[in-house]
Amino acid sequence: MVLGLETSCDETAAAVVQLDADGKAHLLSDQIYSQIEEHTLYGGVVPEIAARAHVGALDALIERALTEADITFVELDGVAATTGPGLVGGVMVGMMAGKAIALAHDIPFLPINHLEGHALSPLLAQQGGDEPLRFPYLLLLVSGGHTQLLSVEGLGQYTRLGSTIDDAVGEAFDKSAKIMGLGFPGGPALERAAQKGDAARFTLPRPLTGKPGCDFSFAGLKSAVRRAWEELPVHNDQARADLSAAFQAAATDVLANRTANAMDIFAKTHGPRPLVVAGGVAANTVLRMRLMEEADKKGFTFIAPPFSLCTDNGGMIANAGALHLRAGYQGDLGVSARPRWPLDEQAAKASPASGSGKKGPKS
């Protein structure tokens, strides 16, 4: 059994995962403290406030996670913690707590890449009657700090096919929501507003759509939302709904188009395989439906984790740690926090924007 700690941004989380002999994962506990209340006043995540909130919440969450799993520290086989990428102050809180537990109980400390936690989260979501997800698969990772397409060939084996050249799609959702005064967190608020909107009212760009390759761009779309909002004579709920719907449609078109290119590239080597979407934006139901349609066209199977495993959580970190432990990794107490940590370290260096592997503030 592995305890997993997640403190990379604005969720403090602790969970316990157990792997069966056949590798099937069981989530024995899952405790999350959301910092929405702390950051709502600022309309985005403030790193210093986030770090202090992690310090105040983590010990109690660990105790609750162990109680829910009905175990004690001495029954743990290891402790895993997000060691990057993310807001470095927050990352250090979970990392140092994990190291302290590992030292005190003489068990391995497993430093986990936050992106790998998301990448492997569908393995944690497999249910008894489901066809097990097997490597390789194509991953669309979409969150507030990351937008990437990756070929997941095995544990620790990731090839980046595309990334954002400027803003991550989750950041574009959050910033567009902030422009329209929809509240925090912006992504879910924008999706709710869009349900009552007419996307045809506004014409917004679809950056890079129709171009070869798998890279993304969302800065121009975000700027177009700002211009459209500022040019409106009246700012009311219907205008918010319509512009939200237009933005969501444009962002979904971009993601679907670039993912379709990635499926073509991936299929040349591996044939049609599962298309997995993970990360906070993967909770968007419109995006899920669109990706399911695109996957069906290409002969891919579409897989998305349950909503609870899309946003940051300790279960995905514990799961990744348990998989590495089973594969023979002995842990490392000497690692340092890594604010930037790409999954594919051999890939060409991406832009310094948030989608390059650094999870930045959602302000």
pLDDT tens by residue, 61-74? 999 999 999 999 99
Cβ contact 59:100 at 8 Å: no
- Among 299, 288, 344, which residue's Cα sits nearest to residue 142? 288
- Quick check: 359 pLDDT over 50? no
Per-residue pLDDT at 350: 54
> What is the Cα–Cα distance from 1 to 325, expressed in whole angstroms?
10
> What is the Cα–Cα distance from 9 to 43, expressed in whole angstroms?
15
Give the model's confidence band at 130: pLDDT under 50 very low, under 70 low, under 90 confident, else very high. Answer: low
Cβ contact 21:99 at 8 Å: no
- Quick check: 363 pLDDT over 60? no
String of b and e for 68-103 (b: at least 16 CB within 10 Å)? ebebeeeebbbbbbbbbbbbbbbbbbbbbbbbebbe
What domains can be seen in the chain, in order of their start residue? 2-125+309-347 (3.30.420.40), 137-304 (3.30.420.40)
Mean pLDDT of 232-256: 98
**Could you tell me whether strands 157-163 and 109-113 are parallel, antiparallel, or unpaired per DSSP bridges?**
unpaired
> What is the Cα–Cα distance from 318 to 348, expressed in whole angstroms?
29
- Quick check: 120 pLDDT over 90? yes
Q: List helix spans (H) across 25-129.
A: 36-40, 47-69, 88-105, 114-124
pLDDT in tens, 34-57: 988 888 888 888 999 999 999 999
Residue corresponding to tokens 């310094």: 352
**31 phi and psi angles, rounded to 5 deg:** -115, 130
Give the model's confidence band at 354: pLDDT under 50 very low, under 70 low, under 90 confident, else very high. Answer: very low
- Rounded to a whole number, what is the largest CA-CA distance in the chain? 65
- Quick check: 78 pLDDT over 90? yes
Per-residue pLDDT at 226: 98
Which residues are paired to 154 by β-bridges?
Answer: 157
Residue corresponding to tokens 């205008």: 239
pLDDT in tens, 131-180: 678 999 999 999 888 999 999 999 999 999 999 999 999 999 999 999 99
Cβ contact 326:73 at 8 Å: no
Per-residue pLDDT at 349: 62
> What is the Cα–Cα distance from 360 to 354, expressed in whole angstroms?
6
pLDDT in tens, 200-227: 999 999 999 999 999 999 999 999 999 9
Task: Kindly report the average pLDDT of the chain as a whole number.
Answer: 92
pLDDT in tens, 178-188: 999 999 889 99
**358 phi and psi angles, rounded to 5 deg:** -110, 130
Per-residue pLDDT at 187: 93
pLDDT in tens, 288-331: 999 999 999 999 999 999 998 999 999 999 999 999 999 999 99
> What is the Cα–Cα distance from 348 to 363, expressed in whole angstroms?
28
